[in-house]
Amino acid sequence: MTSAVQRLPAEQRYAEELAALLTADQGPRPGGWRLSPRAVRSFVLGDGDRISRKIEGNDALVERAIVTLSGGRGLLLAGEPGTAKSLLSELLAAAISGCSTLTVQGGAGVVEEHIRYGWNYALLLRDGPNQKALVPGPLYAAMAGGQLLRFEEITRCATEVQDCLIPVLSDRILHLPELKDEQDAWLLSRPGFNVIATANLRDRGVNEMSAALKRRFNFELMQALGRREQAALIAREARRQLDEQAIEVELPGEVIELLATVFDELKRGEAAGVAVERPATALSTAEAIGVVCNAASHCWYFGSSRLMPRHLGQFVAGAVVQGEAGDAERFAAYLRLLRQQRAGLAEWQDFLDGC
């Protein structure tokens, strides 16, 4: 099955771990939950034995997020790009509901119909508004099935679209005014329904959330990883993606740490105590993983079995310079500083030779 798709949802990718947790789980469970809060925590953070760790850092935040959802409050995960907001929401949905695919991807083109429900217009014209003509959206399906709805990048949607969640989170009822039968005119949510939203701090102000909607969420700020944790995450995820493509290239730890250092210095705007101008690009961990995968693919297809710093150097510029005015010069200034500071260090010289 894995050879036929590029990426499986978490509930399928970690099906064996979820089955093992379900079999052994004896803890109390909130209504509609497949696993107890303790088992959900083990699924996300690992148990040191059979269950792998899937999120680096933010352990206390993960526990608070689970408690928030168990109490029926909406959860909003906010943070800089690359802080694993979407990954955490997917993992929580997979463990709690057994389904992480009831998702709304926020954007300027999203309208209420995309979130709540739409209509089969052939049936609608023939028979008028009725349950058979109704096409459930992710929100309708989550409420009817007692599952979690994931609302990605909520602030990228227009405010009036965001606010369609207010009555749902308050009353747990979705009104269907088109249906004339009173029994069908509203949908009552089943136990287990809730909403996990994510918001990118770099998009703050795009479509500010209303105060009424904010009051219905508990906010959690995802913290960026330290350099070592980020290097470990880059290495693990890059290895997983490369294995899925049957690319057998060695990823030395020191080479991955060098890349993590480059990304960290550019994001902080400082290299060895010297200020550098930060690029406008977000430089998320996902982009660093992409650099490693691209560089390793280059090695594999063009005759090298070991990733070297110069291979990374060929692809870093593509992650840093993404069309923002001035980013090319900012990156060039950073490289000039590296040549002054680290030209005598073999790994850094190799990296600079590849840039």
The candidate with the shortest Cα–Cα distance to 295, out of 308, 282, 276, is: 308
The candidate with the shortest Cα–Cα distance to 212, out of 151, 165, 143, is: 165
Question: Residue 344: phi, psi to the nearest 5?
Answer: -85, -5
pLDDT for position 205: 59
My answer on whether 66 and 215 are in the same domain is yes
My answer on whether 52 and 162 are in the same domain is yes
My answer on whether 202 and 256 are in the same domain is no
The candidate with the shortest Cα–Cα distance to 265, out of 344, 321, 337, 201, is: 337
192: left (phi over 0), alpha (psi -120 to 50) or beta: left
CB-based contact 279:266 (threshold 8 Å): yes
Number of domains making up the chain: 2
Residue ending a domain, choose from 195, 222, 249: 222
My answer on whether 310 and 252 are in the same domain is yes
My answer on whether 142 and 276 are in the same domain is no
The candidate with the shortest Cα–Cα distance to 272, out of 343, 200, 342, 345, is: 342
CA distances from 217 to 84, 211, 213, 237 (A): 19, 10, 7, 30
pLDDT for position 56: 82
| pTM of the predicted protein model | 0.85
pLDDT averaged over 10-residue windows placed end to end, the chain, 355 residues? 73 96 96 97 93 89 96 93 90 97 94 93 91 94 97 93 93 89 81 96 77 94 86 91 92 96 91 88 87 96 93 92 83 92 90 92
My answer on whether 266 and 298 are in the same domain is yes
My answer on whether 39 and 83 are in the same domain is yes
Residue ending a domain, choose from 207, 222, 237: 222
The candidate with the shortest Cα–Cα distance to 321, out of 271, 287, 273, is: 287
Q: Which long-range contacts (CB under 8 A, 24 or more apart) does 115-121 make?
A: 115/139, 115/161, 115/164, 115/165, 116/140, 116/164, 116/174, 117/176
Domain that holds residue 62: 2-222
Residue ending a domain, choose from 222, 239, 271: 222
Give 266's DSSP letter: H
CB-based contact 161:112 (threshold 8 Å): yes
CATH number at residue 157: 3.40.50.300
pLDDT for position 103: 97
My answer on whether 71 and 190 are in the same domain is yes
CB-based contact 348:300 (threshold 8 Å): no
Beta-carbon count within 10 A of 313 CB: 22
My answer on whether 60 and 186 are in the same domain is yes
My answer on whether 190 and 253 are in the same domain is no
My answer on whether 211 and 266 are in the same domain is no
pLDDT for position 2: 46
Query: Could you tell me which residues come within 8 angstroms of residue 51 by beta carbon, excluding any fewer than 6 positions away?
Result: 17, 20, 21, 42, 43
In a 13 Å sphere around the CA of 181, the CA atoms on its Cβ side amount to 7
My answer on whether 187 and 268 are in the same domain is no
d(CA 82, CA 144): 32
